[in-house]
Structure 1
Amino acid sequence: MAPASFHHTSNTVCVMDASGRLGSTLVERLLQRGYTVHAAIQHHDELQFNGLASDNKKLKIFHSDPYDYQSIIDALKGCSGLFYTFEPPKDQPSYDEVMAEVEVRAAHNVLEACAQTETMEKVVFTSSITAVVWRDDRKSTASDLDERHWSDINFCRKYKLWQAVSKTLAEKTAWALAMDRGVNMVSINAGLIMGPDLSISNPYLKGAAEMYEDGVLVTVDLNSLAEAHICVYEDISSYGRYLSFNHVINRHEDAVKLAQMLTSSAPVLPQSGEQDMKIIQQRISNKKLNKLMVNFEGGSGTDENSS
């Protein structure tokens, strides 16, 4: 039996927000795969696509604001798929309680717009592993964390883990609406996205020391993450949530390396043989996505998986 992939009725998809690192990578990948792409960006972000748009007849730029319902509807017109990622506005990159409301409202508008778009066949919603790992009982659970687990909102509020609050509430809002309106949705819960602009101020890293000790501090490179999105979109058997990461930070040297990458002032720790040898047991599983990816032909020829 051939692997289950299928052609959507239209080869047109929308990427929103297309100006972030994941969004712009998805736009490039989808164009390479022959899709016509509606790149939905907010007003201040058009520069990066100007060159690309004039070269590529299959790329159409839309200005859409996640709070302006009509602008979302316009960007989705004629699309059979949507890749949706929320990027905090550039003028307010940090997460707090207000950002959670903003992100939830955006998710609500976008899913509502998808329900009103007759051509829409599948939505790939980018969420985060921070919507999975934060809970009171996390030390005592016998099994690995996986796509069935949700972060506990009250726990996250108590410890001011605002990005986790935001991602969890937005994803739950999207799922509730998708189910209510009959929108076919899958989510990708991403690990910490690696890249040159990763810094210590990244809100994902709030609680990183605890994640590390719990064996759930995971990272993903942009290429793998983009391929995971396209794979779950194209595979007819995909459903529900998928955890996407390709590296677990569970050794002392990995943690030190990450710290040094994030801040030049990270301490160079003395070699204390014993601590360096300790490997923290991984407590999180991405088996569900890996199974799906086995037959996926990414077509980019780069394999950077390091686990």
Structure 2
Amino acid sequence: MARDGSNDGAARGGLVCVTGGSGFIGSWLVRLLLHRGYTVHDTVKNLQDERETKHLQALDGADTRLRLFQMDLLDAASVQPAIDGALGVFHLASPVILQPDRDPETEVVEPAWKGALNVLRAAKDCGVSRVVMVSSQTAMVPNPNWPADKVIDEHSWADVDLIKKHELWYNVSKTLAEKAAWDFAAKAGLDLVVLNPAWVLGPTLTPSVTLSLHVLLQILKGQSFDMDAFFIGSVDVRDVAESLIVLYENPSAQGRHLCLESSQRMVDFTNQLSDLYPELPVQRIQEDKQDWLVRAKGPSKKLIDLGVRFTPFEKTIRDTMDCFKSKGLIKHLKRQTIRKTFT
């Protein structure tokens, strides 16, 4: 996790806005912001849905320093009220849909980049001092032109044509949204910094598990997922939330920031899971198809230089499993033992 001491960046205790703060990352971010003395405007899709609001309203400090706003990313008029008066904005809200039902452009891609622009315009109009945006490592890979012997870093961008060809629409949405954000910030003179987390795991504050945890749960149940084109590792959700605050509070933080504990391949990930929980039906990968990915410890050098200390993989997984157990999600996952009787 990151350092706890104060710094010479943004003053704590001011008003900040978090878009999409009811989700997996957002809930942890709001919790940490409240703990540090900030006042928070948080946006949700539906104020009447307790699945979005109840866990936020239960946070320490929420009764006096948290206000919820209903927001539609594609409705510019609904964006500004939550941002008005804020010193900083954390933009997290974006569709998280891996397989759209009908049209990926209208369901996933357009809401991501148009929504980002609506938030950034409102931030500019309201005189916000800094915007911290959550992008993704999926906006970095696959990149066929990346040197084969070089660890992935912030200079890498995903090949949009390639990810469209593979119909990785979430990846497309994150890549185009981040590109649109950088273009707008450059033209408008807006202070923007971006966090690019890897696969986010860890315990959740939400009442149900969100997509990234659902994928892990399915892997624990024995399902396999083809992530060879873009998997580069994982990161603890608490480290992601802490990193966002570090980027906000440190004026020296500039540009993109890769956020993961270590650069590893999917074969490494499933092997570690299987070793930690041999009683579960985790499928070990038999063929490593990720020779394009260079393994590395501590690849998030920019964040480490700012004081971020990443949670070890094993602790993240064990804390995630404890969360699954508390929600009754893994009680039926034990590997079945087959006994043969010889006569």
Q: TM-score, normalised by structure 1?
A: 0.80
Displacement of 1:34 in angstroms is: 0.5
- Contact 2:262 2:295 (C-alpha < 8 Å) held by counterparts: no
CA separation of 1:259/1:20 partners in 2, compared to 1, >3 Å: closer, same or farther? farther
Q: Give the structure 1 partner of residue 9 of structure 2.
A: 6
Q: Secondary structure at the match of 1:225?
A: helix
Q: Tell me the alpha carbon deviations over residues 193-212 of structure 1, each in whole angstroms, 9 at most, x when there is no partner.
A: 0136313389xx97523446
Q: Tell me the alpha carbon deviations over residues 145-191 of structure 1, each in whole angstroms, 9 at most, x when there is no partner.
A: 21111111111111112121110000001111111111101000000
- Look up the SS of the partner of 2:72 in the other structure: coil
Partner of 2:295: 282
Could you say what the CA RMSD is over the residues aligned between the two structures, in angstroms? Answer: 3.3
Structure 1 segment 118-197 matched on structure 2, within 5 A: 118=127, 120-138=128-146, 140-195=147-202, 197=209
Q: Does the CA-based 8 Å contact 1:189-1:244 persist in structure 2?
A: yes
Which range is displaced more, 97-106 or 192-201?
A: 192-201
Task: Name stretches of at least 5 consecutive residues in structure 2 with no aligned partner.
Answer: 204-208, 218-223, 315-343
Secondary structure class of the residue paired with 1:103: helix
1:5-84 aligned at under 5 Å gives the runs 5-8=8-11, 11-43=14-46, 44=49, 45-52=52-59, 56-84=63-91
Larger Rg: 2
Using the TM superposition, name which of 56-65 and 164-173 deviates more: 56-65
The offset of 1:249, in angstroms, is: 3.1
Do the aligned residues in 2 keep the contact of 1:8 with 1:80 (CA within 8 Å)?
Answer: no
Total equivalences in the alignment:
281
Matching residue's letter, 1:107: A
Matched residue type, 2:196: N
Q: 1:107 to 1:47 in 2, by over 3 A?
A: same
**Percent of residue pairs identical:** 30
Give the secondary structure class of the aligned counterpart of 2:131: strand
Give 1:54 shift.
8.4
Give the residue type in structure 2 aligned to 1:208.
M
Asked if the contact 1:130–1:167 (Cα under 8 Å) also holds between the matched residues in 2, the reply is yes
Distance 2:285 2:197 in 1: 29
**Deviation at residue 288 of structure 1 after TM alignment:** 1.4
Measured in 1, the distance between the counterparts of 2:235 and 2:12 equals 31
Q: Is the contact between residue 188 and residue 229 of structure 1 (CA under 8 Å) also seen in structure 2?
A: yes
The one-letter code matched in structure 2 to 1:115 is K
